[in-house]
Amino acid sequence: MKPVNAQDRRVVNLKDAVFTPYDPEETGELGTSYLNLNPEMDQGVGFYIYRMAPGSHSAPHRHGGAEEFYVIEGELRDHDGTLYKAGDVVWLAPGTVHNSYSENGCTVAVFSQVREDSPDE
């Protein structure tokens, strides 16, 4: 087996990673950012790391496909009061509408089957 070419592998340590802030005018979110290593995936699709600064919240959104996430550190609370803590693995069904808030900030590994949209659509 040949070694993997450098251009075919990306490795980032979350302690040193540079996250891309979500555009608040586009998303309605403040204090949220993401890290996506796959250059072929659209923002918010596939696997990515999502970070919420203390006191931030996600915009209300509907999942076109299932969403799965793992809380790496911190806590986040959904609009219905459900609290997700570090170590929790969560699955949300396609069509689920929600938004989340993080009082002290959190980092979450996310897999989303398809792009989400506004709950009004």
The CATH number covering residue 52 comes to 2.60.120.10
Average pLDDT value for residue range 32-48 = 88
Structural domain total, the chain = 1
Domain housing 80: 44-121
Task: State residue 121's pLDDT score.
Answer: 54
- Tell me the chain's radius of gyration from C-alpha atoms: 15
In a domain, 21, yes or no: no
CA distance 107 to 50: 6
Burial class of residue 111, CB neighbours in 10 A (0-12, 13-18, 19+): middle
Mean pLDDT over 47-71 rounds to 93
Q: Is residue 26 part of a domain?
A: no
**Is residue 10 domain-resident?**
no
Q: Does residue 79 form part of some domain?
A: yes
Higher pLDDT, 55 or 63: 55
pLDDT digits (tens, 9 = 90+) for 76-89: 999 999 999 999 99
pLDDT of residue 63 exceeding 90? no
Q: Looking at per-residue confidence, does 72 or 29 come out higher?
A: 72
Q: Is the dihedral of CA 43, 64, 96, 111 positive or negative?
A: negative
Q: Indicate the average pLDDT of the chain.
A: 91
CB atoms within 10 A of CB 107: 21
